[in-house]
Each structure stands twice: as structure tokens, then as C-alpha cells.
Structure 1
Amino acid sequence: MTKKPFDPSSLQAFGNAAAGHDGVLSDESGAVVVKPCTKAEIAFYESVAQSHTDLAPHLPTFMGTLSLSADHTVPHAGDADSGTIVTASGAVERLHGRKLETELHIVLENVTHGFKRPNVLDLKLGAQLWDEDAKPEKRARLDEVSVATTSGGLGFRIAGMRTWKGVPTPPIPDDLKEYIEGNGDGGFWVYNKMYGRKFSAADVEEGFVSYVLPQSKSKPELERAREILAYFLGEVKDIISVFESKESRMYSASILLVYEGDVDEYASTKQKLRSAPVPEDGEDEEEDLPKLAAVKMIDFAHATWQPGKGPDENALRGMRSTAAVLKGLLDKAEKDLEATEEA
């Protein structure tokens, strides 16, 4: 993704997150997200650009940093060294997490940009969720979460989910009301972090089914599910392959899965992509094309390189478990599609 001019004065609340901290912003175009961050996260993105370029395709494009304060000074847009001061007053809405107490923000590609109705699934990786700097009380609290959820058994858990249900939006079932924010107005169901905590290793696939497999079993939706799951599986396998060659430690990093939730828009996008001109060597791909699906690693607030310590098996375990679930769902989608075609 090529960097475009970025106007920090246009920042507004970001509405497409499935999980994350309070205080996430976006610009008017929706092409970038600006989120509170740690120095470690910036250092990780910078090191990827400099020394680990094979990871770059699997991360959102890093566009630099901003310093956000309550000041009303809005100079030029910032890059990684600018330290630009802008205002975030009145532009923050509650998402799913505590706001980081920092003025330092990272500017990243918005992975959901290019989708009309993005269905988003955030998978938090790792059985150990704390880094070595965490205080004993935080370690104990996060260990309790890990033991009580699929984090401990599978090395990942569903941290948040957002799915397009259409308009008018169907009523939320009674057994889901405590997990879905609001009443579903606007066509989306937004699942909170407690939704993923209710699953065990034995039934976590149900959470993925709600995300990607249609209840109606219509042929267009099943075809989309098969294509999306095959793509997701291939991307996660690629991520595993890259990280198996890295000596890193990434506590509480996530895999973000996104696909077009509107089935008609999905079909239309496929046609547009088929007819789009292929860029010549050395040319950037057309940025304004719509998207069908995306898979990215995100959230590197507690990520470091650890030379000599080998691959990050804590995170890799969650990636491999994710791949296994996706493979099972892909097999299921193919069987359901075969049954539909035979009927």
C-alpha cells in the first residue's frame, strides 16, 4: 500500500474494530488508523521495515507516528520522526479496552479499508499473555484469563468479532444478548471480549461458524465461505512459516481476519477484480480497488526480538491451532456445498 497524504486534523473515532483499546482514531478517508501505542510497538514496526521485510506483507503498512494531545495545534502530517502535535479532543469513543495513558500514537494502514461491510474477527495469540516487565498482579490476572479460556488450551482466543447481518437487522437471540453491544442497529452485530471467553477447546469452532459459515446454507454464501476459508488458511500458514524462522516474543499479539460481509458486494467485487488491469512490474497496485478478504498480524505493544532464544512457540501454538480450526471449517463448507449442489 503506497503512502498517501495524511491530514491529522481530520481524525475521528474509528468504528470498524472488533477488539482493541479505547482511543483508536481514523482519518476521513478511512484508509488509516491512529492508535495509542508503546515505544516497543513502534520499534517493532521499524525493525520489520529495516531488517525483517519478509514479515511486512503480513502486517498493516506502517506509516509513522503522531503525538496526540489536547492541544488544538494542527501542523503538517507526521512521519516516523515528526512528533506532530494534533488534537484528539471529542474524537474518542469507547471500544473494547482501557485507553493507554500515552500521547504517542502509531499510524497504520486500516485493514478494513476497501470493504463495504467488513466482517472482522480478532484472535488473541498466546497462552502466556504477559511480557517479562509485567507486575505480579497483572501476571496473575492474565494467567487466570488464560486458564479459563481457550488461550490456555489452544494458544488463542476470540478477542472480538463484528459481523454484517443486513438491514433490517435480525433480533439478537437471548443467549447472545450479553455478548453483543447495543441492539444490532446499523446492520452489524458487534461481539464483546466476553463472547470469546465462553468457549472451550471443544466448542470454539462454534465461534468461527458464527463468523464465516452461513446459517441459510445458500449456494452463494457457501461458495463465499469456501473461498474465504481457503484464503484465510493459506495466509495463516504463510504467517506460521515466516514466524518459525524468527526469534521473537509477541505477547498478546493478534491475527486479524477480515472479509466482505455483504454477499452481493462480494460477488460484485470478484467481477471488478477479474476485470482490473494487472499492474506492470515496478508499478503499485491500484489502491482504490475493493477487497474480498485480508489477514494481518496486529498489536505489537509487547513484541521484541530475542536473538538466540528460538521461535516464539507461545504465539506459534495459537497460529497452528487457528490453522487447524480453519481447515476443519473449510472441510465442512465444502461438504455443505456438495450437499447443496446435489439437492
Structure 2
Amino acid sequence: EGAPIISLRNLAPFVPRFYGTLELGGITYMKLEDLSRQYKNPCIIDVKIGYQTWYPSATQSHIDKCKVKDLATTQSKLGFKICGMQVYDRPTDRLVRADKDWCKLLDCDSVVGPLQRFLNPPSSQDLSARDLCFGEGGLLGKLEDLEQYFERQRGHQFFSSSLLVVYEGGAVQTTDLNLQLKLIDFAHAITVTNARDENFLNGFKSFKSFLLDFVV
């Protein structure tokens, strides 16, 4: 097997499960796992990774469009941006959503608040960002596992892909969080020969470092 196939096999634990395709109205759709289905009150965040969101073979007009969007957000400065977010508000027993238009307004300073809000489970005074990140099955361990994959793999590069983090907002102890970290959105992933994905990896490391700065 070639490097791209091996790379994809090793990536499998980090992506939603694939359940085949579905034909509707002459259009073929992929059937993917619904990552939020198992949660009662899912806290979710979508974080686009990479300092560059356009792929090498893109048209100049697409590249120019991406550059404008990246410069207007934290993408080109921090190597990541929040695309969407949902948290559970225990006092009102409802899910609060931040849409992509609101997320576009976040800059390098204001992005800290939403990340801190997401990482602090609202349902128990006994749980904190440290529990969510460093506890058993926590976010840090999952980030390190995915980082190791990208340090090794040389068969693919991912442009404009995101990390999706999900956990149970109603958890009252660490074992109830059931935190998941998955890589999503592969429309602009490309196959390469013996080349590390520096753009994704650098953005990923920036995001991880950014989290640790205010959790530790």
C-alpha cells in the first residue's frame, strides 16, 4: 500500500464514521456519523485550522477571496478561527449558539472569551477547564494523539478543514463528559508525495498552545 492509503487508514480514528453514499434527486451524498446524536446537551465548537485556507490548484479569484476572509479574522494571525459554537446554559436549561457571522467578528483578543466559556462545563462547580482538558479522556490527550498523526503522515494536506470538539454539557463529573475530537470538512484535502502538512500542523500547534496558555 502507498503512503496516501496508509495515511488514510491511520486517520480513521480521528474522523466521523463513513456509512456509504445516498442517491437523492440524481445527486450522490455521503452518509457520515452524527457526532452530537448521543448527547442530551451537546457543547460543540468548530475550529478551522491553518494559516492558509486555499488549496494550491485553486483559481486566482478563489485565492484572493480566501486571503481577504483570512485577513479579516484570526485565521491568518493565529492559524485558526472559530466557525461556530454551541454551549449548554444550565440556569435556563437551553443550548446557546454562536453563528458564523458572530464568530467572524472575533479578533485575537476577543477570541479568548468564547474559548474559555466553551472549556468550562457550566453544569457543575466541581468541573473546570482543567478537568475537561487534562482529565481522563480529556481534550489535551486527544489533541496530542492527532498531532502525532500529522507529525508522521506525508500523504495528504488539508486546507480549510476543521476540528470539531463535542462534550456533554450536562455532565456533573469527568466520566460523564464523553468528549470527542474529530477532524471534519475535507473538500479541499489533496494527495501529496512525502510532504508534511506544515500549514495545518502549524495552525494546529498554535491552537493547542493558545488553549494551554489560559488553562494551565
CA distance in 1, matches of 2:97, 2:168: 15
Q: Which has the larger radius of gyration?
A: 1
Deviation at residue 104 of structure 1 after TM alignment: 2.2
2:175 is aligned to 270
Deviation at residue 215 of structure 1 after TM alignment: 7.6
What is the correspondence of 1:278-317 to structure 2 with a 5 Å cutoff?
Answer: 292-308=178-194, 310-317=195-202
Larger relative strand fraction: 2
Contact 2:127 2:174 in 1 (8 A): no
- Which of 238, 258, 261 aligns to 2:169? It is 261
The 1:268–1:114 alpha-carbon spacing in structure 2 relative to 1, beyond 3 Å, is farther
| Structure 1: gaps spanning 5 or more residues | 1-46, 70-84, 86-102, 170-186, 272-290, 332-343
- Structure 1 residue 62 corresponds to structure 2 residue 11: no
Contact 1:233 1:326 in 2 (8 A): no
Query: Relative contact order, CA 8 A, sep 6+: which one is greater?
Result: 2
Deviation at residue 167 of structure 1 after TM alignment: 6.2
Aligned pairs, number = 209
Q: Normalised by the size of structure 1, how large is the TM-score?
A: 0.56
Contact 1:158 1:195 in 2 (8 A): no
Letter in 1 for 2:34: N
- Which of 157, 168, 183 aligns to 1:249? It is 157
Q: Secondary structure at the match of 1:228?
A: helix
2:207 is aligned to 322
Runs ≥4 residues deviating over 4 A: none
What is the correspondence of 1:113-128 to structure 2 with a 5 Å cutoff?
Answer: 113-128=37-52
Equivalent pairs: percent with the same residue? 30
Letter in 2 for 1:303: A
Deviation at residue 320 of structure 1 after TM alignment: 0.6
**1:110-160 C-alpha deviation (Å, 9 max, x unpaired):** 221221110000001122111234322221111011112111011110000
Q: Normalised by the size of structure 2, how large is the TM-score?
A: 0.86
Letter in 2 for 1:146: D
CA distance in 1, matches of 2:83, 2:167: 17
1:191 is aligned to 98
Contact 2:120 2:132 in 1 (8 A): no
Deviation at residue 62 of structure 1 after TM alignment: 1.5
Contact 2:165 2:180 in 1 (8 A): yes
**1:37-85 C-alpha deviation (Å, 9 max, x unpaired):** xxxxxxxxxx66x65322111111122111222xxxxxxxxxxxxxxx7
**1:263-283 C-alpha deviation (Å, 9 max, x unpaired):** xxx237837xxxxxxxxxxxx
The alignment's C-alpha RMSD in Å is 2.4
Q: Secondary structure at the match of 1:53?
A: helix
1:178 is aligned to none
Deviation at residue 203 of structure 1 after TM alignment: 3.8
Contact 2:131 2:174 in 1 (8 A): no
The 1:130–1:292 alpha-carbon spacing in structure 2 relative to 1, beyond 3 Å, is same
Letter in 1 for 2:143: V
The 1:268–1:321 alpha-carbon spacing in structure 2 relative to 1, beyond 3 Å, is closer
**1:19-47 C-alpha deviation (Å, 9 max, x unpaired):** xxxxxxxxxxxxxxxxxxxxxxxxxxxx6
The 1:313–1:112 alpha-carbon spacing in structure 2 relative to 1, beyond 3 Å, is same
What is the correspondence of 1:42-57 to structure 2 with a 5 Å cutoff?
Answer: 52-57=8-13
Letter in 1 for 2:112: E
The 1:148–1:59 alpha-carbon spacing in structure 2 relative to 1, beyond 3 Å, is same
